[in-house]
Structure 1
Amino acid sequence: MIESGVIDGGGAPARVLPGTVLELLRSRIEAGRPETWPTGSAGRSPGFVTNAERAMVVLPAGEGDPGEHAVDPSADGGSDGFVLADGQCDEYPDQDTVPLAEVLRIVEHVVATGSWPADAARVADR
């Protein structure tokens, strides 16, 4: 089943399809909107917040579930500048975030299938 979804960021909601998700996410980042939570047609809402270099990517199983987040086990150090929609600015260990190219790959796969890519490293937050 091919997933689709919407991103509601004020104004008209933007439709998210596997072929358009990368362009939409890049445009949101460039517009200074680093936090994105598409609402998937199968009830999955992947989310990410980025500092334009790395991102925290999460995939809850449903409302109220902390879900799982993508990791980069070989990364060292930490990064800041992860600005949430409410203005809060977070810092994360680089092991708990992934490079932006990986974020885009993961989110595109989740929108297309409703699940993580099989090769995406992740940890459960439950």
Structure 2
Amino acid sequence: MTESWAVDDGSVGEVLLDTLRAKVSEGRLETWLASSSGRKLAFVTNAERAMVVLMEGEDDAGEHAVDPGAEGWSGGFVLSNGQYDEYPDVDTVPLEEAFRIVDHIVRTGSWPADARWAVDR
């Protein structure tokens, strides 16, 4: 069976990435995706960089996309509960790269071969 993904608002399939982009443009900076196999994909952005975390299930610490050469910190990652987060830039990726990573995971079930990620388990 092929794994399918849905955005927390119910969007699925080819419209998923369009939905994610629209949410960011509307200032909704946290999005969760769930797969038919129980995996979760978290996407939190400040509209410039994004934290992308892939988890095997609810209690999994998962793995997240990284930008090994990045320096500094970025703020403005606002969660749906109002929490304001800052992350080291090394633990986030530029927004367009985050969209590319999410699209690849949704289409193939795995990280892009050229993406970097850190295992948090």
TM over 0.5: yes
Q: Which runs of 4+ in 1 moved over 3 A?
A: none
The aligned residue for residue 39 of structure 1 is 34
Unaligned stretches of 5+ in structure 1?
Answer: none
The aligned residue for residue 94 of structure 2 is 99
Q: Which has the higher contact order (CA 8 A, sep 6+)?
A: 1
* Residue of 10, 15, 34 corresponding to 1:14: 10
Q: Partners of 2:60 and 2:67 in 1: how far apart? A: 22
* Residue of 45, 61, 70 corresponding to 2:65: 70
The aligned residue for residue 79 of structure 2 is 84
Aligned Cα RMSD in Å? 1.4
Instruction: Count residues with an aligned counterpart.
Output: 121
Unaligned stretches of 5+ in structure 2?
Answer: none
Q: Partners of 1:91 and 1:105 in 2: how far apart? A: 22
Identity of paired residues, percent?
A: 60
The aligned residue for residue 118 of structure 1 is 113
TM-score (normalised: structure 1): 0.89
TM-score (normalised: structure 2): 0.92
Give the match's secondary structure for 1:6. Answer: strand
Tell me the CA shift for residue 2 of structure 1.
4.7
Tell me the CA shift for residue 20 of structure 1.
2.1
